Amino acid sequence: MKDKPLRGNVVVVWWFDARGLRGVADPEDMKKKGGLPMMSAGVLISDEGDAVRFAQDYYFDGGEEAVRDIEIIPKAYITKMRKWKA
């Protein structure tokens, strides 16, 4: 296997996911709940348009390359994103 550099940047994304609650709840308590804070990281595929796309795994071997375990997060959900050159 011949090594070659990653084609993208490594990113860490801080964002809010939807939250669901089951069972009986006091409506006043529910007004205090918000999105679920998340942090995800991976190899950036694209940050164009209305979403950020990145892969947790990046594969390369003999000119072939592929990604797997893709995250697609709408930019409206993102609070911060940091990029690092790989």
| pLDDT band (50, 70, 90) for residue 4 | very low
Residue 46 belongs to a domain: yes
Residue 71 belongs to a domain: yes
Instruction: Specify the higher pLDDT residue, 5 or 42.
Output: 42
Residue 69 belongs to a domain: yes
Q: Which domain holds residue 39?
A: 9-20+28-85
- Give residue-wise pLDDT tens across range 26-35: 888 888 888 8
Residue 2 belongs to a domain: no
Q: What strands lie across the sheet with 36-46, from one edge to the other?
A: 64-74, 51-61, 36-46, 9-17, 78-85
Instruction: Specify the higher pLDDT residue, 45 or 30.
Output: 45
Are the C-beta atoms of residues 70 and 41 closer than 8 Å to each other?
A: no
Total count of domains within the chain: 1
Residue 4 belongs to a domain: no
Instruction: Tell me the average pLDDT of the chain.
Output: 85
- Answer whether residue 12 shows pLDDT above 70: yes
How far is it, in rounded angstroms, from Cα 80 to Cα 73?
A: 12
Are the C-beta atoms of residues 31 and 18 closer than 8 Å to each other?
A: no
